Amino acid sequence: MSADSPELTVYSDYVCPFCYLGRASLEQYQETRDEPLRIDWRPFDLRSQKRRPDGTIDHAVDDGKDDDYFEEAKQNVRRLADKYDVEMGIDLATDVDSLSAQVVSYHLREHRDYGTWLAFDEAVFSALWEDGEDIGDADLLVELAADAGADPEEVRSVLDDESFREELRAQFEEASRDGVTGVPTFTYDGYAARGAVPPEQLRRLVEGV
């Protein structure tokens, strides 16, 4: 893939099942293109309103999502998984914290080659949604990053460095200022599509047809 390939911006959080499903839809759209799109990944923290000052999640905070909300979300996940022919080991990941995974992903996106970042990004999604692994676990993230071609010691250093979390929080704030209120959000040339939209809608977004 050349550096000047068309670029689609995607705002995403690993713990969002619709982001995983949206990536599956994007892959299906990519398969129809002669020239693949580059992904300009932008992190987004779905748990930002529930974080304590130290960055951990306070699950006792009421975010307005009750049992009925989660049941409806599960039904929508299952419906879209069937529609996109996606294998998912779990429906929701309510107890998993994606912040550390997003830190590593952001670092690789900014400081390593695109292929390394993309391999890590796909591996994190698969580890959580296919294998049900805890992507908040540092050892798992180091392993996934190493498999993608990153230096394991560098990744451990990134996870231990608070400055990278500060950079990430700045990215979250920028996304909010840009009007992003939920994920996945796909943007291209000033237009946006929100949610795990089907491949044909992504085609309209990018190609206008």
Task: Pick the closest to residue 11 from 35, 46, 56, 36 (CA basis).
Answer: 46
Q: How confident is the model at residue 1 (pLDDT cuts 50, 70, 90)?
A: low
Domain range summary for the chain, segments of one domain joined by +: 7-207
pTM for this entry: 0.92
Mind spelling out the 3-state secondary structure of the chain?
Answer: CCCCCCEEEEEECCCCHHHHHHHHHHHHHHCCCCCCCEEEEEECCCCHHHECCCCCECCCCCCCCCHHHHHHHHHHHHHHHHHCCCCCCCCCCCCCCCHHHHHHHHHHHHHCCHHHHHHHHHHHHHHHHCCCCCCCCHHHHHHHHHHCCCCHHHHHHHHHCHHHHHHHHHHHHHHHHCCCCCCCEEEECCEEEECCCCHHHHHHHHHCC
Residue pLDDT, tens place only, 123-163: 999 999 999 999 999 999 999 999 999 999 999 999 999 99
What letters, b where the CB count within 10 A reaches 16 and e where it falls short, cover 174-186? ebeeeebeebbbb
Residue 111 has pLDDT above 90, yes or no: yes
Q: Where is average pLDDT lowest: 2-16, 65-79, 166-180?
A: 2-16
Structure confidence by residue, pLDDT tens digits, 10-36: 999 999 999 999 999 999 999 999 998
Other Cβ atoms within 10 Å of 2 Cβ, number: 7
The per-residue pLDDT for 63 is 83
pLDDT of the residue at 94? 87
- Tens-digit pLDDT profile for residues 75-110: 999 999 999 999 999 889 888 999 999 999 999 999
How high does pLDDT run on average in the chain?
Answer: 93
Identify the pLDDT of residue 69. 87
Least confident of 2-6, 25-29, 115-119, 169-173: 2-6
What pLDDT sits at residue 55?
Answer: 86
Rounded to an integer, the average pLDDT of 157-175 is 91
The CATH homologous superfamily to which domain 7-207 belongs is: Glutaredoxin (3.40.30.10)
pLDDT band at 59 (very low <50, low <70, confident <90, very high): confident
